[in-house]
Amino acid sequence: MLSNTNSELRVPGELGMQDFYPANFPDDVPTINLEKISLCKLLNGDKAEAERVFNICTTTGFFYLDLLDHATGRQAWSSACSIRQLGEDRLNHTQKEEKLLYKPSGGVSVFDRGYIVRPAAEAGHPDEREFFNIPQSEFFGTKTEGGGLPPWLSQDAASFKKLLKSGNTIACTVMSVLEKQLQLPARSLTKLHRLNDDSGDFVRVLRYAGAPNDDGDGPVGMPAHKDAQSVAILFTWLGGLQIPDPSAEIHDLNVKSDDWRWVRPEPGYAIVNLGDAMEIFTNQVLKSGIHRVIKAPGQQRPYDRYSVLVATRPENHCLMKALKSPLIPVREQRGEIMTSLAWGHSLINGIRKREAEATANCKSVVTNA
């Protein structure tokens, strides 16, 4: 039976997680000291903690969230660890041909349902990256026509549903704090992210292949990007995630190689960041964090890296425009005001265009939505 004490839940062996941490994160790589936020304090209305979150979300947009100081967070941490375990088992013990039958949907849903793989560059090597998405529509809101989980995942439906629910609670807790700090009417943001409204929320389980220690430093699967979401909650156990140093000069998504900093995984903490939707709702008062994923550092490099992501998106019919507040600047609207669903489709079209251009130039473009 799981213990609810912070100290025990942070020990890898408590959840049978010895395999989650096969090697230590190195001490000799440049890391960023993200602030650690208490979920318990946020849920209890702590003003100082709320101000800390707002300051973070108007600058880097990334923070650690302590999940073990409240029952809601402990549930999310336990669910994510269980899904990480079952994800490893399903990805490694299901034939690739069967996995490929779990196909993405069209439009923006290409990134919230289905199995996607990026094969190895050389024959005989393991696939560089693979992941599967579990959409919100499987359990909440309108059931997608032609949906349903494949046999190799359907047995785990209860676990995915539980994490989607607790992830939405955590995301809405963060947004409720931001509403108050922005002097918005109550529920201005949270009403756009109700669990039972059709939205494109998802749980994603990712595997990045390990690599020999002499196998270069190039990105694996996720070059610099922002998330086309409102709030992303990442559970990860090995290094790979990087964000720019706060002093870095950033032009579009271009960051100098020396300005990237590692984010050290912390047991019992999720890594939370805001996505592009929050920039739109606040005319960029809130920041969507730039990040990338590269091969794990040091002695962690040879091991496959598994992560679990919970993505919260605006409900499909909400308008992607700035909300009204004394703290949100008024700016002229450029172009047509789109619904969240249409906005998502436009992003996918842009990605496909970049992919076509990259293919023409014999390059590979991979992005995360």
Q: What is the pLDDT of residues 194-234, one digit of tens each?
A: 999 999 899 999 999 998 876 665 544 578 888 889 999 99
- Between these two residues, 332 and 182, which has the higher pLDDT value? 182
Q: Max Cα separation, the chain?
A: 59
The string of DSSP letters for 93-151 reads HS-HHHHTTS---SGGGGGTSEEEEE--SSTTSPPSEEEEEEEGGGTSSSPPTT----H
DSSP state of 138: G
Residue 46's identity, in one-letter code, is D
Indicate the pLDDT class of residue 288, thresholds 50, 70 and 90. Answer: very high
Q: Across the chain, what does the average pLDDT equal?
A: 87
Separation between Cα atoms, residue 24 and residue 364, nearest integer Å? 31
Residue 121's identity, in one-letter code, is A
Q: Give the pLDDT score at 234.
A: 98
In this prediction, residues 29-37 reach a mean pLDDT of 97
The pTM (predicted TM-score) of the whole model is 0.91
Separation between Cα atoms, residue 118 and residue 221, nearest integer Å? 8
DSSP state of 19: G
Separation between Cα atoms, residue 280 and residue 268, nearest integer Å? 31
Separation between Cα atoms, residue 208 and residue 230, nearest integer Å? 24
Whether the Cβ atoms of residue 255 and residue 290 lie closer than 8 Å to each other:
yes
Is residue 208 exposed (0-12), middle (13-18) or buried (19+ Cβ within 10 Å)? buried
| Structure tokens given for 39 | 């979920």
Whether the Cβ atoms of residue 310 and residue 324 lie closer than 8 Å to each other:
no
3-class SS of residue 4: coil
In this prediction, residues 169-193 reach a mean pLDDT of 98
